[in-house]
Structure 1
Amino acid sequence: MSSPSDSEPAGAPTGVIHDLGYRPYGGPRLGERAVARAFFVTGLRNTYGLGRSGRSKVLPFILLGVMLLPALILVGVLVQARNILGLNEQIVAYSTYPLTTQLLISVFVASQAPALISRDLRFRTITLYLARPMRRTTYVLVRLASLTVATFLLIGAPLLLMYVGGLLADLPVGRETGRFLGAIVGAALLAACLSGLAALVAALTVRRGLAVAAVIVVLLVSYTVVATIQGISGDAGRPAVGEVAGLFSPYTLVNGVQVFLFDSPAATNTPPSSDAMGLVYLLAVVLTVGGAIGGLLARYRTVHP
């Protein structure tokens, strides 16, 4: 029996072209809005490790659990021992709770901002994201929105638990609802400020460890310095100095806004004592968030797809 090559003339081509029927995609193209929506959801899931490795889920869920634990204990004491202790309001005010748990919040933001921002720069996946149809502005706003919403959920979850506990303890519904809504607005403002600052710091370096350390230093050291100045100025009878110092930490800044807008209990020694200073605090929040967005946009103008 002769082989196939024996029946072919010498030098004849032996390759065969197969028509596999590949065709270009002819369906609908959803555009930038759909890309941004999917990008936001993916970023939000990634901040809590969803869709990532099991190790990535450990830290965010531990922080969330530790954030909820004190609130759960406070609710238990309020519900079970309200009459015995003569309690007629929350043991810890809604507006004070974020400051008492600021270490946990800062660690969460510091760990997740580099995961969303620095990693894209380090592995150059940013060049893929900036390809059509998503623009740099959209990338920055969506990444920042994902981090802000994730941080808001971390801050707001224990506040919601405390609110439900207050209703179960038969605290005045109208008063509790007003204070809770004020606290939720404060949580949103705090999440926006923290996320903006953390994202800006993370965008300046591609090394995740360095970004984490830098964000923690910016958030915690700034609060420590501000709280020290406020304590000294309050004892020295110079509250105006403490009011000005409160502008330089996101935690004291947002608490001052809550005191001004909602008459919330102050968590600092020298909250804003006048409407003029309250407006300055509110303006400082807007400038902090706007400045962070502007800084991020300026940073990403130097990134070439």
Structure 2
Amino acid sequence: MAVEQPVTAPAGDQTRIHNIGYRSYDGPRLGRAYARRSLYSQSLRGAYGLGRSAKSKVLPMLLFVVMCLPAGILVAVAVATKADELPVEYTRYAILLQAVISLYVASQAPQAVSLDLRFKTVPLYFSRPMETADYVRAKYAALASALFLLTAAPLLVLYIGALLAKLDFADQTREFAQGLLSVALLSLLFAGIGLVIAAVTPRRGFGVAAVIAVLTISYGAVSTLQAIAFEQETTDAIGWIGLFSPITLIEGVQSAFLGARSTFPGNVAPTDAQGAVYVLVTLGLIAGCYGLLMRRYRKVGL
């Protein structure tokens, strides 16, 4: 019967077990609120390319300049000509530059969520003390805040210019507040639509194209149908048709409740009943976008 011999280390073996000093973390647990704030601030900075490569800063910063430059020119004209009022109303400014806003949403909504889907980092977020609602709220709030900065900055330029031109302080302050409320609603609506579309696909290019298509085609179709209704003298239909495009929704809310002049064909303003529907549809779309994002990320986080 063979006897098993003990295994001995070969000569010259230098195997050692070292104590490298790992210790368990005993500091404060910052929890979900801190994680949510961190994700919000990181996403907001990323929406303007901060903390990213120089190439990533070009487009958002360029769009920001494009948004503010016309406001500066309008202010210069108002001051030079000593005008009694600004050439463009506060509530009208974002509508005129809707193409810039749509391009910004199309470029930054996929950046906010598509890359996380593409590289499958969403489950890593949820492995920390963060839940689906925290992720969705942080991303939604970050893009909405970035859009508000984009749309409110030129209004601030107009307001400061109006005061420098010595226009009526009370009127300008009231109209400026109405403009801020309008762009805040626009920011929430556009951010929600952009994120829902971008969250469908991990391909950033597809997300960009889809967001542009939805925002642009819907506005073009609605404007065309409204023009046809005006030519056929069915003016009652103009207000109802405006419910089917995000930008005309904002226009309808402004005309009905914020004292803005209607820009629909023939300057036809929504009736009081239509204005109430505009508000309900806008708020419903915002809530619906949030709900769709929650549903999407419950599946992604599995």
Name the TM-score class by shorter chain: over 0.9
Partner SS for 1:95: helix
Output the CA distance in 1 between the equivalents of 2:26 and 2:237.
65
Pick aligned residue for 1:162 from 137, 146, 158? 158
1:34 is the counterpart of 2:34: yes
The answer to whether the aligner puts 1:185 opposite 2:185 as a matched pair is no
Higher deviation after alignment, 16-25 or 115-124? 16-25
Task: Kindly tell me the number of residue pairs found equivalent between the two proteins.
Answer: 294
Task: Tell me the residue number matched to 2:288.
Answer: 291
Residue 91 of structure 2: SS of its match in structure 1?
A: coil
Aligned partner of 1:151 in structure 2 is 147
CA RMSD of aligned residues (A): 1.6
The SS at the match of 1:246 is: helix
Paired residue for 1:67? 67
After superposition, the Cα gap between the structure-2 partners of 1:186 and 1:11, relative to the gap in structure 1 and judged at 3 Å, is: same
Contact kept, 8 Å, 2:262 with 2:269, in 1: the verdict is no
C-alpha contact 1:96 1:266 (8 A) present in aligned 2? no
What is the alpha-carbon distance in structure 2 between the residues aligned to residue 88 and residue 165 of structure 1?
A: 12
Give the aligned residue type for 1:279: A
Q: Aligned match of 2:231 in 215, 232, 235? A: 235
Percent of pairs with identical residues: 43
Aligned amino acid, residue 193 of structure 1:
L
Query: TM (normalized to structure 1)?
Result: 0.93
1:182 Cα deviation from its structure 2 partner: 0.6
Equivalent pair of 2:197/2:210 in contact (CA under 8 Å): yes
- State the alpha-carbon separation in 1 of the partners of residues 84 and 232 from structure 2: 33
Q: Which runs of 5+ in 1 are unaligned?
A: 1-7
SS of residue in 2 equivalent to 1:70:
helix
Shift >6 Å, 4+ stretches: none
Give the equivalent residue in structure 2 for 1:219.
Answer: 215
CA distance in structure 2 between the aligned counterparts of 1:143 and 1:96, rounded to whole angstroms: 28
User: Larger deviation: 243-252 or 48-57?
Assistant: 243-252
Whole-angstrom CA distance in 2 between matches of 1:116 and 1:234: 40
2:255/2:270 contact within 8 Å kept: no
Q: State the alpha-carbon separation in 1 of the partners of residues 270 and 119 from structure 2.
A: 49
Which residue of the other structure, out of 265, 272, 275, is the alignment partner of 2:272?
275
Residue in structure 2 matched with residue 76 of structure 1 by the alignment = 76
Q: What is aligned with 1:4?
A: none
Cα pair 1:78 1:169 within 8 Å, conserved: yes
SS in structure 2 of the partner of residue 301 of structure 1: helix
Could you tell me how far apart the structure 2 residues matched to 1:204 and 1:196 are?
Answer: 13
In 1, Cα distance between equivalents of 2:136 and 2:232: 44
- Note if contact 1:179-1:264 (Cα within 8 Å) is conserved in structure 2: no
Matched, 1:118 2:114: yes
CA-CA distance at 1:236 after TM superposition: 2.5
